Amino acid sequence: MDLKHEIESLSAKSEFAAVDREVYEVFKTALRRGEIRSAEKDASGNWNANAWVKQGILLGFRMGKMVEMSKETETLQFFDKDTFPLRPMTLEDGVRIVMGGSAIRDGSYVAPSVVVVPPAYINVGSYVDEGTMVDSHALVGSCAQIGKRVHLSAAAQIGGVLEPVNATPVIIEDDVLVGGNTGVYEGTIVREKCVLASGVILTRSTPVFDLPNQRVIKSMDGGSLEIPAGAVVVQGSRAVTNDFGRENGLSIYCPVIVKYRDDKTDAATKLEDYLR
């Protein structure tokens, strides 16, 4: 089956037959197995969205019907599209899911040795690679790509980017430490071995002040904001320079790169050690 061609053809339809649902289920299984991804890195190191994969996910919303997903033994009730149940999981998947109420939506890839601490949520189209920890109250948004040995600390929010289909989702590369209550949104790319301190917020429109290189990093022409490899990013502020701002001593939030990790730095070093 030419899955790409099939999905693109189905996306142009307004009504669906049983055979169309079968194609969609093949597509969703390929997502779950990591055989296809909503974004991929090319030989030059650039990340590119696979628009047809995003089309396939959106197709699931159009094709699905609202059903009750609650269990008779549970008090809480759940209603969602029948195309997006919870991801089927077995012990053989090698994913450690700690008891307490996390949810992994079908159509997401979760690699062996990933640890999910409750309550956490992993949405459709996301890709979570080996050795990553998704800590308590953390979110992996739709189509987000999370690398190997990433630590998403408690309450970290990795935003989802499903539409437009050609937009690059949020990318967190290998060996990144994302601090608690940190938010990464709107297709931001965080390169390998970065450290994002607690409370840092990154969006496409956020300028990042790079102290070691004395420059301001911005997204270009509506593209992704990209945090360089090894950057240690903390919360900062900059003065409001108009008369009212100066009179009242006002400042606004900005993220600041205070240093870069050395290649020899042990990835297991505590966040506090980076910020000393």
**Alpha-carbon torsion, ordered 77, 80, 84, 90, to 10 deg:** 10
**pLDDT-based confidence at 269, cuts 50/70/90?**
low
**Region 246-273: what's the mean pLDDT?**
79
**pLDDT-based confidence at 162, cuts 50/70/90?**
very high
40 SS3 class: strand
* Choice among 19-28, 226-235, 249-258, 265-274 with the minimum mean pLDDT: 265-274
| Helices first, then strands: H and E counts in the chain | 5, 26
pLDDT score for 263: 67
Query: In this predicted model, what pLDDT tens digit does every residue of 215-250 receive, in sequence order?
Result: 999 998 878 999 999 999 999 999 999 999 999 999
Q: Supply φ then ψ for residue 163, to 5 degrees.
A: -125, 145
The CATH number of 83-263, from 3.30.43.10, 3.40.50.2300, 2.160.10.10, 3.20.20.80, is 2.160.10.10
pLDDT score for 43: 96
State the Cα angle at 230 between 227 and 130, rounded to 5°: 95
pLDDT score for 124: 97
* pTM for the full predicted model: 0.93
Domains in the chain: boundaries: 83-263
